Structure 1
Amino acid sequence: MAPQFVPYTADVETVEPRFDEDLQTVIEKTERYIAESVAAGATGRAVRDAHAKGYGLVRGEVEILGGLPDEYAQGIYATPGRHDALIRFSNGSPHAGADARLGSATGLALKIFDIDGPTLLADEPDTRTFDYTNINGPIFFCNTVDHYLFIQDLFLEAPSYFAQGRPGAHRFFRDFVTGKGTLDPEDWAWDEFLAFLRLSQISPMNVLLSTYWTMGAVRHGDYMAKVRIAPDPSFADAVVRRRIDPTSAAEVFRPALVAELSERPYAFDIQVQLCTDLERMPVEDVTVEWPERLSPFITVATLRIPQQDISGDGNLEKMDALSFTPWRVTAEHAPLGNIMRARKKVYRHSSILRHKLNEQQRTEPRSADELLP
């Protein structure tokens, strides 16, 4: 029997009672961290409050496939064709510095060019660009903006916790579960903590070999989905520098990426998983992985990466000046849920302040040619 996909309706989302108030506090903390990062960080520049360290800006091409089933041929995927693209590979940490100190959470941010229709960003509706900001885990460790308030503090303060060895780690875990002592025992953040533990146990590997998820749900035209960007197996099999040892050198992820792309092309599959059951595939609970037995991932596009040289310092400078946000999409692909909704304003405020402090022009490119040959 063919799966019955749940149609999108506005009532699938619920708004937290203190959403606006808590969101403003998150924005203020984010801006304070970014401002202080100029002096406190390892780069002498303002950095992002997440994915502070980039591993490379890469040129690519997205081919939207033809002949898709109607349920998957939605929004931008309703029209087959080829689009230039840019990809930023990064570490998920809010800190820069040696790779061994940052963990193995990595991100793939994708910018697709020449997409018809206005974006959901009021101050830049006509850029004709479309972004994904995915991480190498299918879930996220925070369900509400209220919880994000203390989780944000913990991640920004993580180096000082873990510098104290096992006692510091114990305090980090305790403060995570108890909300730094603010939560009643029945409200302790066990779901978020278990999601964090799962993500923290990801083995370090070449960023080309990871699969990257939207974490939260997004609209997919008439339906709801999660989207992942997964290595094409035939290209993944050819990767030589597979396992990464962050303790072997200060920089390990970028050199491996640079070397692989200088020797061979690569490809990912862009895949969509449609929601079939809101109880077992919830929109608001991002700590829950949607079971593939209920709805498999279907490939809707191919992301091709040609062989290229990204070794120059100018590559990192161009990457740093770019802005990516899950809300630079058309309405048919709107992010869903409280955490995804919060990212709209947080990303915007973060980007504006970071560009101002770094004296970078904040403009959206019209083509990949503006940045990479």
Structure 2
Amino acid sequence: MEYVKYDYKLEEIPENFEEYINKINKDIVDYIRNTPQLSRAHNYTRDAHANGYAALKAEVEILPNLPEELAQGIYKNAGKHEAVVRFSNGSSRVLPDKLSGNAQGFALKIFGIEGEKVAPGEESSPNVDFNLINNPVFFCNTAEHYVFISKLFLKITDFFEKGALGKLEFASIWVTENKKAFPNFEALKELAALKTFEKIPSINSFLYEYYSMGAVRHGDYMAKVRIEPTDETKNLIIDKDIDIDSEDWPYRKAIIKEIAKNDLTFNLQIQLCNDLKKMPINDLTEEWSQELSPFRTVAKIKIFKQEVPEDGNFNVMDNLSFTPFRTLEENRPIGNLQSTRRSAYVTSSTTRHELNNKKRKEPNNLQEAFDEKFYQK
């Protein structure tokens, strides 16, 4: 099968991109400064995925003897690496699960991956991160539109608390950019993508499939990333369905309960682009067809059986930062919107750590990641 070769021109970065970046970063800083009030929290939280469910000790094995088109970038060198996984809710506020929705994140940090990293100020980092979510599409396609959408999305809870009328008001503001434009096809398509998040079922966090949503460079090629539970893991999970009305944070409780019983395994997979029209790089609302190009496993993830405190290792999650640009040039996120994440994640992490009076420091292994003394100033 022929796969599309990576070309920088395909990313379609606009000339005034830095202007959009500066606006987005300013909004991130302003929002994080208000998170203690918005989430009624004792600390400053992330601007997205604010509520971490658990930080878990893991291992990643990059598989040997991969075919040339898969053995690109970090996947060239087979071997086992320590890793940490953070499960989280996608909401920008720390709220009970029944108010937060079912969008969830799987953030993965793999220790000991050699090579210069792309994230600003992280060039010498020893680690590689993945930031995935349990939905194959995203609800925005360009940096220009994200300047507006990101501000509105941060207020989504306020609208949805009003019920049906609040949702209608939210949709109206979304498609008209707060009455500044006529509804257009692009805005309607993005709103439709947002609505797919409402269809995510309430199941155990270990049973979801987690996606990069946007494309990444894959060495000479381009791809999307997925993490899926193995059949063995699906069979091991006892409480497959979650009653989000049963208590405030049933997802965290279920994670802690299941991981105390068994090792759980997952496949890290790559879906290579072989048709730019049907598998677009800059349309994140479009799911790539698995019939055209199936996901193929390049690594195995094992989350070890472990005892986790009731808070899900809160301090570990608070100390850690994850950015999809903490990776090699050969594996970085690509495209118009995706490129905003290059500085946005660093801005978010740096702001949060400074306000919480925490040392922002990248651990070299699991022992350091779970050692609070490592982060002391």
The counterpart of 2:89, out of the listed 88, 91, 109, is 91
Distance in 1 (CA, whole Å) between partners of 2:330 and 2:16 is 27
Distance in 1 (CA, whole Å) between partners of 2:183 and 2:124 is 48
Please report how far the alpha carbon of residue 42 of structure 1 lies from its aligned counterpart in structure 2 after TM superposition: 2.3
Find the residue that maps to 1:55 and give its secondary structure. strand
Q: Say whether residues 1:368 and 2:366 are aligned partners.
A: yes
Deviates more, 1:164-173 or 1:77-86: 164-173
AA in 2 matched with 1:278: L
Please report how far the alpha carbon of residue 20 of structure 1 lies from its aligned counterpart in structure 2 after TM superposition: 1.7
The counterpart of 2:232, out of the listed 221, 234, 238, is 234
Identity %: 40
Deviates more, 1:281-290 or 1:303-312: 303-312
For 2:127, the equivalent position in structure 1 comes to: 129
Deviates more, 1:4-13 or 1:38-47: 38-47
Distance in 1 (CA, whole Å) between partners of 2:348 and 2:315 is 18
Does the 8 Å CA contact 1:86/1:368 hold for their aligned counterparts? Answer: yes
Please report how far the alpha carbon of residue 312 of structure 1 lies from its aligned counterpart in structure 2 after TM superposition: 4.8
For 1:267, the equivalent position in structure 2 comes to: 265
Distance in 1 (CA, whole Å) between partners of 2:343 and 2:217 is 19
For 2:214, the equivalent position in structure 1 comes to: 216
Does the 8 Å CA contact 1:62/1:303 hold for their aligned counterparts? Answer: yes
For 2:247, the equivalent position in structure 1 comes to: 249
Please report how far the alpha carbon of residue 126 of structure 1 lies from its aligned counterpart in structure 2 after TM superposition: 1.5
AA in 2 matched with 1:83: H
For 1:191, the equivalent position in structure 2 comes to: 189
Please report how far the alpha carbon of residue 188 of structure 1 lies from its aligned counterpart in structure 2 after TM superposition: 5.3
Q: Say whether residues 1:301 and 2:293 are aligned partners.
A: no
Please report how far the alpha carbon of residue 268 of structure 1 lies from its aligned counterpart in structure 2 after TM superposition: 0.6
Superposed CA RMSD: 1.4
For 1:317, the equivalent position in structure 2 comes to: 315
C-alpha distance after superposition, 1:115-168 (max 9, x if no partner): 011111241212210000000011100101222122212222122212222211
Deviates more, 1:62-71 or 1:312-321: 312-321
Distance in 1 (CA, whole Å) between partners of 2:21 and 2:199 is 29
Over 3 Å counting, the alpha-carbon distance change for 1:173 and 1:310 in structure 2 is same
Please report how far the alpha carbon of residue 25 of structure 1 lies from its aligned counterpart in structure 2 after TM superposition: 1.2
For 1:147, the equivalent position in structure 2 comes to: 145
Does the 8 Å CA contact 2:109/2:127 hold for their aligned counterparts? Answer: yes
The counterpart of 1:63, out of the listed 51, 61, 64, is 61
Please report how far the alpha carbon of residue 257 of structure 1 lies from its aligned counterpart in structure 2 after TM superposition: 0.1
Find the residue that maps to 1:149 and give its secondary structure. helix
C-alpha distance after superposition, 1:157-182 (max 9, x if no partner): 12221222221111011112222222
Distance in 2 (CA, whole Å) between partners of 1:240 and 1:177 is 42
TM-score (norm 2): 0.95
TM-score (norm 1): 0.96
Distance in 2 (CA, whole Å) between partners of 1:44 and 1:146 is 34
Please report how far the alpha carbon of residue 313 of structure 1 lies from its aligned counterpart in structure 2 after TM superposition: 4.0
Deviates more, 1:340-349 or 1:309-318: 309-318
Aligned pairs, number = 371
Q: Say whether residues 1:283 and 2:287 are aligned partners.
A: no
Q: Say whether residues 1:339 and 2:337 are aligned partners.
A: yes
The counterpart of 2:24, out of the listed 26, 34, 37, is 26
Does the 8 Å CA contact 1:323/1:351 hold for their aligned counterparts? Answer: yes
Does the 8 Å CA contact 1:39/1:45 hold for their aligned counterparts? Answer: no
Distance in 2 (CA, whole Å) between partners of 1:130 and 1:88 is 14
Distance in 2 (CA, whole Å) between partners of 1:261 and 1:5 is 38
C-alpha distance after superposition, 1:323-361 (max 9, x if no partner): 100100011102101111001111111111100111111
Distance in 1 (CA, whole Å) between partners of 2:55 and 2:168 is 37
Deviates more, 1:321-330 or 1:234-243: 234-243
Find the residue that maps to 2:85 and give its secondary structure. strand
AA in 2 matched with 1:193: L
Please report how far the alpha carbon of residue 301 of structure 1 lies from its aligned counterpart in structure 2 after TM superposition: 0.5
For 1:176, the equivalent position in structure 2 comes to: 174
Does the 8 Å CA contact 1:178/1:188 hold for their aligned counterparts? Answer: no
For 2:70, the equivalent position in structure 1 comes to: 72
AA in 2 matched with 1:207: S
Does the 8 Å CA contact 1:179/1:188 hold for their aligned counterparts? Answer: no
